Amino acid sequence: MKRMLSILSFIVLGIFAIASLGAGPALAKTEYISIGTGGTGGVYYPYGGGLAEIWTKYVKGVKAVAEVTGASVENVKYADRGETVIGEAMNDVVFQAFNGVGKFKKKKRIYTMFCMYPNLYHVVALKKLGLKSIYDVKGKRVSIGSPGSGTAYKTQLVLGALGIPLDSFKVYRLSFNENANALKDGTIDIGIWSVAAPTSSVMDLATTHPIDILNWSKEDMAKVQKKYPFYRPYVIPKGTYKGVDYDVHTLSVWNSVVCWQKLPEDLVYRLVKAVYEHHDYLQKIHPFARFTTPENTLKQAVIPLHPGTVKYFKEIGLKIPDRLMPKK
């Protein structure tokens, strides 16, 4: 289904392009942009929809649409192909894709446009099971995230750092909405999300079924962070989800919007500028959009910025660290 949606998306874009060529100069300059997001039960999709609305409304000559995808890994691959596809991705995936390490055997031709917000690792079980530790995944039925998602990618890294192999439990690969439904009907014991909090699918689950979100010890978080420094401790405050009346100590990783390195500088400049000038609209979509600031991009980006982003940041008086300057 995801592949079919992607193919249809590019067919539509092709039709638009052909129509533009035949309709004269006024339409020929329109840039059609597809934004790779994730499943509908997370934050990527509505956030991407907000970007599409901002860019279509405020960037002259741009028509943008948010697409449902397999999320981070899939989005990075799309952006690398040289298509006008902009992708949302977790920074662990971004870092390893850019550097051609881990799962990525070849360096991906991507740059950061801007950083979005931190994703928080949710390891969720029904309260009646009485699970307390991340090590309780052993021997259970566990959804590690949909294929091609940042959640699945992150799960393999962090559990591996703790010496918990995937073959120590029964692996399911479900989307966020599927996680919630499978927990409700008892198909799985544990569902994993890497997402901003609160997220709709976990909220929906918690309204009908008492849940626990498993805590991480400081020692376990330190083990993961030593191996993968882009993961950092974070606390989900008690009461974020119904019935979770304790602070959840967990891992976070930032999200970025990435694009093909060779996208025109002026196009990316105008897109980035529009995002920051209409930041208030993104915050109406999700409160975590408050983290989408130029300053946080300079602190949290893990690969170089696109020249269009550099141009805008310099325009507003920011100094770009050498590590974030694009390669020449």
Domain count, the chain: 2
Indicate whether 245 and 271 sit together in one domain. no
* Amino acid sitting at position 194: S
Do 6 and 81 have their domain in common?
yes
Residues 160 and 238 in one domain: yes
Tell me what pLDDT residue 103 has.
85
Last residue of a domain, one of 219, 253, 287: 253
CA 135 to the chain's CA centroid: 25
Same domain (yes/no): 144, 269: no
Same domain, 100 and 36: yes
* Chain CA centroid to CA 257, Å: 8
What pLDDT does residue 7 have?
A: 44
Q: In which region does residue 105 sit, left (phi positive, over 0), alpha (psi from -120 to 50) or beta (all else)?
A: alpha
Domain boundary among 253, 281, 299: 253
Domain range for residue 206?
119-253
Nearest-angstrom CA–CA distance, 258 and 87: 5
What is the model's pLDDT at position 8?
41
93 and 184 share one domain: no
In SS3 terms, 92-120 reads as HHHHHHHHCCCCCCCCCCEEEEEEEEEEE
Looking at residue 84, its pLDDT comes to 67
CB 131 within 8 A of CB 215: no
Successive 10-residue mean pLDDT values, the chain, 328 residues: 46 43 52 93 93 97 95 94 87 95 94 97 98 95 93 94 97 96 98 94 97 97 93 95 97 97 96 97 92 97 97 98 92
